[in-house]
Amino acid sequence: MVFADAPDDGVLGLSIFSVQSPHFQGGPCKRVQKIIVRQKIPALTYLYNTFGSDNTCLESIWDEIIARGKRHITQIHFSNEVGRRNNLTSPYDFYPDHSTKQYVTLLEEMPESLETDIRQRVREILGSIENYADTGTFILGTGLESQYSVRAYNNLYRILREEWPYEISRNPLRSTQRKLDNTTPDTYYEYHHYKRARNMPTRCILNGDGQDLAMEPGTATSLGGIDPAEMIHLTRWARNGSEKGCIMFLWFAKWQGLHQRNPSEPSRRRFKVHRTDVRKTSRLLNHVNRMRKRKARRKKKGE
């Protein structure tokens, strides 16, 4: 198994779930790419085939990372469970016509047809990264904000583990579900929003997903009654993730096509990545990384 190349104080990257969308290619891709490749350890996460199936941007990012002599961390979410829950799946999603209850029941029963489809999807993902398998660490998420029962998750995990030779991450919607999965100690556990997650394991992923981030006052969107995070929240979030050595992903609503009140299903969305985002986000990442390093030095000096 290939373990993540994250240092003890963690790594900070970007959440670009929509990177495979045909509408993300071109300008949005070039601007996000400039931010990612500048990082010491470039890290990104995306939702497999939810927004589309165009890998042009992904391959361009990976190619430039390689050209710069760096290694990356890339997380790929197997299925869009949050979209399933909110009736916002796309035709590209896995079993998009199934509700959460129907899909969980099917996973519990695990008919031969479903097992075949799961294996086929994993093999498709492996095929899409085949030329980059040795260029970094790849992590497969078992479902974005999943609501699996214990039996459903164990059935799914068994098949994924047999097919996927790299890291696996788990992102249940409710933190209480994590207590049921101690049988998979090799799994990364993922937490969302810019809040202080408690009782995190040593193998953790933090993603701001679901809570927009305001780099400047009044520039972010409230989502589902959740106010945007401000710099004080981000600093606390990053500090906590650093202490645990987490892989962390910044998340912006407009990069996922969620800057409008009534977003369309993912494959139809448009995205906003402005030229100024390159400067502002790069500056933000540098600020957070400097803060993390200062804290690490103070901690080491205190020891």
pLDDT (0 to 100) of residue 184: 61
pLDDT at 9 over 80: no
pLDDT (0 to 100) of residue 285: 83
pLDDT (0 to 100) of residue 291: 72
Of 3.20.20, 3.40.50, 1.25.40, 3.10.450, the CATH number of 11-302 is 3.20.20
pLDDT bucket at 1, cuts 50 / 70 / 90: very low
CA 150 vs CA 162, 164, 284: distances in Å: 18, 20, 39
pLDDT at 162 over 80: yes
| pLDDT tens string 106-143 | 999 999 999 999 999 999 999 999 999 999 999 999 99
pLDDT bucket at 154, cuts 50 / 70 / 90: very high
| 296: its two tokens | 């690490």
pLDDT bucket at 222, cuts 50 / 70 / 90: confident
pLDDT (0 to 100) of residue 51: 94
Segment among 3-7, 69-73, 158-162, 289-293 with least mean pLDDT: 3-7
Domain boundaries, the chain: 11-302
pLDDT bucket at 63, cuts 50 / 70 / 90: very high
Overall pTM > 0.85: yes
Residue 140 CB partners (closer than 8 Å, separation 6+):
75, 76, 78, 122, 125, 160, 164, 166, 167, 168, 169
pLDDT at 221 over 70: yes
Q: What are phi and psi of 298, to 5 degrees?
A: -65, -40
| pLDDT tens string 75-113 | 999 999 999 999 989 888 999 999 999 999 999 999 999
| pLDDT tens string 189-217 | 999 998 766 677 778 999 999 888 887 65
